[in-house]
Amino acid sequence: MNKKTDKSSPVETRYYFVDEAGDGNLFNRHGRLRLGEEGCSRYFILGILDVPNPEQLSLDLNSLRTQLLSDPYFKKVPSMQERTRKTALAFHAKDDVPEVRREVFTYLSKQEFRFFAAVRDKNAVADYAIQRRERDGKYRYQPNELYDYMVRALFQNLLHKDDGYEIHFSKRGAQNRTAALRTALEIAREKFTRRWGIR
């Protein structure tokens, strides 16, 4: 499938895929802290997957899905039915049965990916937000602050080596965040340049 290469050597275009676990919500609509309540995660994780050849990955995963869909073993599995619009359309760990997850994991474990992640304890973020609000009465914490901060932190050392970058962010909410995320990436690149003098 993929040729073995030095994963960190410069390439023409590097493909990054970004997704999160948890969310940036800290407070309810009345301004009360939600941490510890059901449905409010304690940690926020932002991950980046560096995929050398996304086209081939897509072809291979589609082929694997087609193979699994035609397997009689999975014939009566609800998520494998087209009408459910789940595994029949795309793999997703929360929808897939364990046998399907195993097949996908086996395939993915043989790929030449790089993965980067940052984890924030939302208790520390809440402490910061509360202290800042005490200093500045107009300040209101917004969940996107945490996401944008983590984008800047994670990408700070990842945008200087290659000729081009194609970065895909998972969709979050209904707002179009393209401009804000582009700004976060530009800030990350500027910080690297200031620190190391390398563009």
- pLDDT for 141-150, tens place per residue? 999 999 999 9
Does residue 4 carry a pLDDT above 70?
no
C-beta separation of 52 from 112 below 8 A: yes
In this prediction, residues 128-142 reach a mean pLDDT of: 95
Length of the chain: 199
Asked whether residue 74 falls in the same domain as residue 93, the answer is yes
- The verdict on residue 105 lying in a domain is yes
pLDDT of residue 11: 83
Q: Stretch 85-113: mean pLDDT, rounded?
A: 93
**Do 89 and 123 share a domain, yes or no?**
no
The whole-model pTM stands at: 0.84
Q: What is the pLDDT of residues 9-38, one digit of tens each?
A: 778 999 999 999 998 999 998 889 999 898
Residues 66 and 102 in one domain: yes
Give start and end residues of each alpha helix (H) in the chain. Answer: 54-69, 98-108, 122-135, 143-155, 178-196
| pLDDT recorded at residue 110 | 96
d(CA 116, CA 160): 16
Q: Are residues 117 and 38 in the same domain?
A: yes
* Pair (104, 42) in one structural domain: no
Q: Is residue 57 a part of any domain in this protein?
A: no
20: helix, strand or coil: strand
Q: How confident is the model at residue 117 (pLDDT cuts 50, 70, 90)?
A: very high
Domain count, the chain: 2
Planar angle of CA 98, 93, 144, nearest 5 degrees: 160
- Structure token pair of residue 47: 């991950």
Same domain? For 107 and 117 the reply is no
Domain enclosing residue 9, as ranges: 1-52+113-199
Question: 168-177: per-residue pLDDT in tens?
Answer: 998 777 778 8
Helix (H, G, I), strand (E, B) or coil at 67: helix
Whether residues 37 and 135 share a domain: the answer is: yes
Contact (CB, 8 A) for 17 and 49: yes
Give the mean pLDDT of 142-169: 94
Whole-angstrom Cα distance, residue 199 to residue 177?
Answer: 25
